[in-house]
Amino acid sequence: MSPYKGNRKINIPISIFVVVFAFILLVIPTSGNTEQLITLDKQKLPHKFSIAAPEIRPLVYIDKQGNIAGQFITMFEHFSEQTGIKVDIKVMPWGRAVQQAKSGNSDAIMPALYTNERAAFFAYPSEPLVIFSGSVVLQHRQDTRKIDSWHDIHDSQIVKVRSMNLGENVGRLFVNNRNELVEVVRIVDGLQMLQHKRVDYVVMDALIASSLIEELKLQDEIKVIVHPEESRLSNSYLAFSTSFAAQFDVEKIMALINQYNDPDKYIKQLEIYSH
């Protein structure tokens, strides 16, 4: 006969409950997260991906505190919050960014204009990431040379950022050694060279020029020379590595990104500081 009568009380150390509960939390994901990951897998969407990007203000750059910042960064943070897809963005020189994406060490590069050469090793979605509004030439206001059009620019040193695609109109500035090309990694360095009159001109995207002239308070020192044909718009893309595109649906990814990004919002009427 059992020595215990009626109900018996069994004392189990509370530490056992803590260990068991912690184990459940670790090995069993929440239903919301599970459903989200399954949905991503079914749609050939990644759980995370990486992007290599050159410094292009105001879109992506390193701020004074050494943190990555810019309009693209803010947009992708919102994208990640809403979709659960993590995006790792690293700023680096254009040449290195290209190599990182070509080799698959980075899953994508931004922003990248479409060229036949790049299409051989990048996968371009049909939707652009950003639409640029053309290039402008910047001149120091103390430069007394009268420039009515780009045709008047010759025998000069012209700075452009290395990641910038020349294009037809910009390219004509350097045909037959008409002008000397000076390339920089960061366009801010080129502007500082112009500000201190170490070069004659800087050629750059109109949106970025407008933003930097305003940010650096250079309105009284630098003026803009516009080419009439440069009002044409240029699509620039989030171009994916071929290895990444083989695994995931880049069209779906880009369409999803553009639910939180408006490529047209970067189009601005050229701010011409010429008066």
Is 166:160 a contact under the CB 8 Å cutoff? yes
Q: How far, in Å, CA of 151 to CA of 127, rounded?
A: 34
Banded pLDDT at 231 (limits 50, 70, 90): low
Q: Per residue in 53-87, pLDDT tens?
A: 998 878 899 998 999 999 899 999 999 999 999 99
State the angle between helix axes of 250-257 and 71-83 in degrees (0 to 180), rounded to the nearest 10: 110
pLDDT of 141 higher than 80: yes
Banded pLDDT at 245 (limits 50, 70, 90): very high
Q: What percent of the chain has pLDDT over 70?
A: 79
Query: pTM of the entire structure?
Result: 0.62
Q: Which two tokens stand for residue 176?
A: 């037959």
* Domains of the chain with bracketed CATH: 45-131+234-266 (3.40.190.10), 134-231 (3.40.190.10)
Residues whose CB is less than 8 angstroms from the CB of residue 120 and which lie 6 or more positions away in sequence, other chains included: none
How much helix, strand and coil, in percent to the nearest 5, is found in the chain? 40, 25, 40
pLDDT at site 31:
44
User: Residue 156's closest CA among 140, 132, 135?
Assistant: 140
Q: What percent of the chain has pLDDT over 90?
A: 56
Is 128:236 a contact under the CB 8 Å cutoff? yes
pLDDT at site 138:
94
pLDDT at site 275:
41
What is the per-residue burial (b if ≥16 Cβ within 10 Å, else e) of 100-112? bbbeeebbbbbbb
